Amino acid sequence: MQPDLSGLTELEVNLATRTSLGDALTRSARMFGARTAIADRGRSVTYAELDRAAESVAGALLDAGLARQQPVAMLMGNSWQFVATYFACAKAGLVAMPVNVVLAPEDIAWILNDSGTTTIVADAAFGPLLDKILPGLDSVTSVVLVGAEPAATVGGLDARSWEDLAARGTSGPVEVLVEDRDTAQCLYTSGTTSRPKGVLASHTAVFVAGLTNALMQGGSWGGDHATLVNVLPMFHTTGLNTLVLPTLMIGGTVVLPGPFDPGAVLDAIESHRATHVMFLPIMYRALLGAQAATARDLSSVRLCIYAMAPMPGELLDQVDEAFPNAAVILGSGQTEVVPATVLQWPEHRHTKANSWGPPVPTVEVQIMDGAGALLPAGESGEIVYRGPHVSSGYWNNADANRAAFAHGWFHSGDVGHLDEDGVVWFTDRLKDIIKSGGENVSSVEVERVVAAAPGVQECSVVGLPDDRWGEAVCAVVVATDADIAPAELEAQVIAHAKLHLAGFKVPKRVIVLDALPKTATGKARKHELRADLSR
Amino acid sequence: MQPDLSGLTELEVNLATRTSLGDALTRSARMFGARTAIADRGRSVTYAELDRAAESVAGALLDAGLARQQPVAMLMGNSWQFVATYFACAKAGLVAMPVNVVLAPEDIAWILNDSGTTTIVADAAFGPLLDKILPGLDSVTSVVLVGAEPAATVGGLDARSWEDLAARGTSGPVEVLVEDRDTAQCLYTSGTTSRPKGVLASHTAVFVAGLTNALMQGGSWGGDHATLVNVLPMFHTTGLNTLVLPTLMIGGTVVLPGPFDPGAVLDAIESHRATHVMFLPIMYRALLGAQAATARDLSSVRLCIYAMAPMPGELLDQVDEAFPNAAVILGSGQTEVVPATVLQWPEHRHTKANSWGPPVPTVEVQIMDGAGALLPAGESGEIVYRGPHVSSGYWNNADANRAAFAHGWFHSGDVGHLDEDGVVWFTDRLKDIIKSGGENVSSVEVERVVAAAPGVQECSVVGLPDDRWGEAVCAVVVATDADIAPAELEAQVIAHAKLHLAGFKVPKRVIVLDALPKTATGKARKHELRADLSR
């Protein structure tokens, strides 16, 4: 049963019935025009201003000739202009493509090339980076700079001023066809292979994830509004899809205090009466130190999420104490399943603190064996997902998609089990990713670089538990020359890695062994290495 | 940017990423299998039982040859079997079509015919109704009865036993292609014309409405679960889409105390520690009386929604007092915009009690003039809607769809304005519907019947304000014979109407005038009639 819509244009029906992220900002701005949408360091941006800027930039991007579903690369730190640009893309039916700006320049160049990017919106601070990579990128024809000098040029192109685009105005809202399953965002993740993969998420996926996160975070639409203090990078799905977008979808306020500074964060929580926050464990530790030095009123916070890794019990207790009215729980997920995929319940906080918690209401989690069979509670296998906020697939990578969706489930690459309460217990990674300081590091990529360092005969790279980083990238190497001093070999490896890898991928430790433990087929026994070295 | 999914089946990707109502029950059942999903009078049905029954009935419907997107008519009162059948359709990719069982038999027959229904699931109590209408319906080939005697027949067909279908089991979950914009439900509404119209809602529409309602009702997913006591009929969108489905999507408990009985409802609220309820104003009045007679503990209720019409201030105050911990607010909407479209905020409860409140976060409301232009705050015009839970259109009715979606907005047929706070104030109906006791009555349809009554020369039917019904259907008639006693003419009109109309459409009052006030073009001035007679 489908309706007969003859006599109507496709756009008329689409405008009235669609699931579109751009419309979410329209609605919040209509209800809360005068309210602060984003407090970006000193600057308060109202919903009306944010929406006006987004509409204006959307119109400018379309006028410049961008066509439906083309990507707009965003090289931007956290700012209100980031958010306005993201929503501009959503309103215009373009794909917002925030790029991880801490990646190595050659990775960023590779991403721009793989995605066929023609248009880049960048903070002026990334001008030197663009000068370096743009000459090798023929597809890029347009750069818009935020905060640039007048008549700036970058990489041989005349840059347009973001501020000019945002202020030019429109004759009315941008109303173009945006279908529910059009791609809303593409986030490249440095995954398990040597090259980043573009994870595509539809408007429906991001929208449903947003509503779900708002529900899980105890949000409401009305006078009693949500206030988020966010320091996590918005070029990652956690900052963007778990935190910032859900808050804006229900008319809340997003506070961006700038690069992580414990004192500034605590001041922002106190002065804005923040209701929910999310930090990495190492950030919580720093916040506790700053709070011990100068106590702020943190009583407004009702939810503290921590990410990426369980926290030591004594640290959890201290966070409990510092945020007297907050539930302190772990949120987990991955770029491919717009998070939070799983979120602890407050009642599991003490009994199952080392678990990931249960899935959110819009995600089903199962455990699958290598042959595609689902396993009962207690049995270990790959964690697989289903639900409306699962990614629609990887860009330009049919092989990865075939593996990801085999048997009708999204394959996470994580290994774990479910308990009788449906709680997810993560135990290991099927593929070889190290999660360090909130970033994913492919051990394969680091191994390739380390193996090429002078004095290294062979190597294996593993993540070892680390209070500061969650996991520390650790290179286990065998020397070509048995007489070389371990400290000297370590220095050589680090120096070489720094030349060829982004900073966060450079090994934190180098351990020299006489030989690597190996499987019968000659592969390093990483599980054994990790166990031995974690002791 | 869309992913290359070559090498995968359409079903594999669909299962992993879709927005499907059937999956929502699957997820709740996996997390809360042992929890009571529905307390149906004396019977507690767990999530595991409900899901198993839904899967089993889904498999049986598919095995019987029903094809994707065919309707399954449901002639059922509120029961756990209703819910299981609804989810069975969702899982099987069929269209659940709950029919308003208080409509006149000829309207029900018309609906079954218009929808091309082949399969009916009915309570055994509706056997006599089916005996009456099935002989005239060639398309119906299969009837499933709930609670029937063995080997029952109905309308000349051998009925299958619902209990047998629900108990037959499956070899695994039903996994068929269900796309986000497939139709999930069709609810016929007796609208503005003489014939009911089938309102189609997609899986996305019902799903997003469900999440939104859960958020607005303060629901959470976890230990602190929602408990709804529901007496509103589930064949209407309010009971189904605003109340029951959202509660089940987040693992809450739905209590069905049976036909409205004030004492039984209060007992259910107390014994189940209900968290949210929704009633018509006349029901609240009855509840207050029963509570005055025997006080129950109603402290668990945090939200009391009332529907369809503002409540008198003194009644509101009494409800406030009876439910000491609850916000008491008005919810409004219509079948075509899976509600609640607009919901008062608690902070408007005293300052804007006669408003509808603001739209929910997933609906945009504007006011439009007759030429399709949007009007500023304060100006009156037709209330129009946009958002992901707007209906995808009317079944088999291109004319209605053209009117409904003109200018890219859904046309409500209601007249009102927005104030500076974005709050919706309803003032009148553009089309001629009377909202009486929670049912929509088409005055045109009643006029056609009354005009044919003996002794009636001409007539006009209007809704007049009424404490009990919200609006009372009122027939204003001019007699053919000036000498007839008004009481006699009234009796004749009522008797005739009872023969040809469903009970709720029969005029509550008949007023005899010498002449009707008319426009220049000869149409009755209903606005004037209502104003004169309401004094």
For B148, counting Cβ atoms within 10 Å of its Cβ (0-12 exposed, 13-18 middle, 19+ buried), the class is buried
Q: Region B376-385: what's the mean pLDDT? A: 94
Helix (H), strand (E), coil (C) string for A210-232: HHHHHHHCCCCCCCCCCEEECCC
Q: Which residues of A touch B346 (CB under 8 A)?
A: 222-223
Of A16, A215, A220, which has the smallest distance from its Cβ to B408's Cβ? A16
With cut-offs at 50, 70 and 90, classify the pLDDT of residue B341.
confident
Could you tell me which chain B residue has the CA closest to the CA of A197?
Answer: B3
CB contact (8 A) between residue A7 and residue B251 = no
Task: With a cut of 80, say whether residue B221 has pLDDT above it.
Answer: yes
For B180, which of A204, A345, A395 is closest by C-beta distance? A204
Say yes or no for a CB contact (<8 Å) between B250 and A361: yes
CB within 8 Å of B214: residues ≥ 6 apart: A215, B226, B246, B247, B249, B250
The distance of A321 to chain B (nearest Cα, Å) reads 23
pLDDT in tens, B471-497: 899 999 999 888 899 999 999 999 999
Separation CA A304–CA A284 (nearest Å): 10
Alpha-carbon distance of A346 to B431, in angstroms, equals: 50
In A, which residues are within 8 Å of B358 by CB distance? Answer: 31, 222
Residue from the list A24, A207, A223 with its beta carbon closest to the beta carbon of B347: A223
Of B16, B212, B218, which is closest to A409 when you measure between CB atoms? B16
Confidence class for position A308, pLDDT limits 50, 70, 90: low
- B392 chain-A contacts, CB cut-off 8 A: 2-3, 13, 17
CA A505 to chain B, closest CA, distance in angstroms equals 28
Mark yes or no for CB contact B361/A115 under 8 Å: no
Q: Do B23 and A386 touch (CB under 8 A)?
A: yes
Residue B522 pLDDT grade (very low, low, confident, very high; cuts 50, 70, 90)? low
pLDDT of residue A426: 85
Residue of B nearest to A185 (CA): B1
A513, with CB counted inside 10 A (0-12, 13-18, 19+), is middle
Closest chain B C-alpha to A395 CA, distance in angstroms: 5
Mean pLDDT of B356-384: 93
What pLDDT, in 10s, does the model give residues B24-43?
A: 999 999 999 999 999 999 89
Distance CA A80, CA A50 (A): 8
Instruction: Check pLDDT > 50 for residue B450.
Output: yes
**Per DSSP, which regions of B159-209 are E strands?**
160-161, 183-189, 197-202
- For A204, the closest of B16, B19, B396 (CB atoms) is B19
Q: DSSP 3-state assignment of B108?
A: helix
Q: Which chain B residues are Cβ-neighbours of A276 within 8 angstroms? A: none
In the chain, the amino acid numbered B342 is: V
A359 close to A366: Cβ distance less than 8 angstroms? no
Per-residue pLDDT band at B223 (split at 50, 70, 90): low
Nearest residue, CB atoms, B422 vs list A5, A31, A394: A31
A16/B215 CB distance under 8 A? no
Mean confidence (pLDDT) of chain A:
92
B316 phi, psi to nearest 5 deg: -55, -45
Residues from chain B that touch A390, judged by Cβ atoms under 8 A, are: 16-17
pLDDT at site A150: 87
Q: What is the pLDDT of residue A195?
A: 77
**Exposure pattern of A75-104 as b/e (b: 16+ CB <10 Å)?**
bbbbbbbbbbbbbbbbbbbbbbbbbbbebe
In chain B, which residue's Cα lies nearest the Cα of A422?
B31
pLDDT digits (tens, 9 = 90+) for B173-219: 999 999 999 999 999 986 444 578 999 999 999 999 999 999 999 88
What distance in Å separates the CA atoms of residue B388 and residue B402, rounded to the nearest whole number?
19
Is B219 within 8 Å of A215 when comparing Cβ atoms?
yes
Q: Classify A99 as helix, strand or coil.
A: coil
Buried b vs exposed e over A262-292: b needs ≥16 C-beta within 10 Å? bbbbbbbbbebebbbbbbbbbbbbbbbebbe
- Centre a 10 Å sphere on the Cβ of residue B204 and count the other Cβ atoms it contains: 29
A201 CA: distance to closest CA in chain B (Å): 9
Give residue B146's pLDDT: 98
Mean pLDDT for chain B overall = 92
Six token digits for residue B189: 């509404």
Which residues in chain A are contacts of B13 at CB distance < 8 A? 392-393, 405
Supply the pLDDT for residue A194: 52
Q: Which of A1, A349, A350 to mutate to test the interface with B (most CBs of B within 10 A)?
A: A1
Q: Does residue B468 register a pLDDT over 60? A: yes
Contact yes or no for A4 and B346 at CB 8 A: no
Chain B CB contacts of A402 below 8 Å: 6-8
Tracing tokens 């439009």 back to the chain, one arrives at B368
From the candidates B4, B9, B17, which should be mutated to test the interface with A, based on the most A CB atoms within 10 A? B17
- Counting one residue from chain A and one from chain B, the pairs whose CB atoms sit within 8 A come to 240
The partner residue sitting opposite B200, judged by closest CB among A3, A12, A175, is A3
Choose among A1, A211, A422: nearest Cβ to B31: A422
Distance CA B236, CA B439 (A): 9
Chain B, nearest residue to A376 by Cα: B30
pLDDT tens digits for A37-95?
999 998 999 999 999 999 999 999 999 999 999 999 999 999 999 999 999 999 999 99
Yes or no, beta carbons of A215 and B211 under 8 Å apart? yes
- Distance from the Cα of A469 to chain B's closest Cα (Å) equals 30
- Structure ipTM: 0.87
**Which of B19, B47, B367, B375 to substitute to test the interface with A, most A CBs within 10 Å?**
B19
Q: Which of B212, B363, B408 is nearest residue A11 as measured by Cβ atoms?
A: B408
- Compute the nearest-CA separation of B216 from chain A (Å): 6
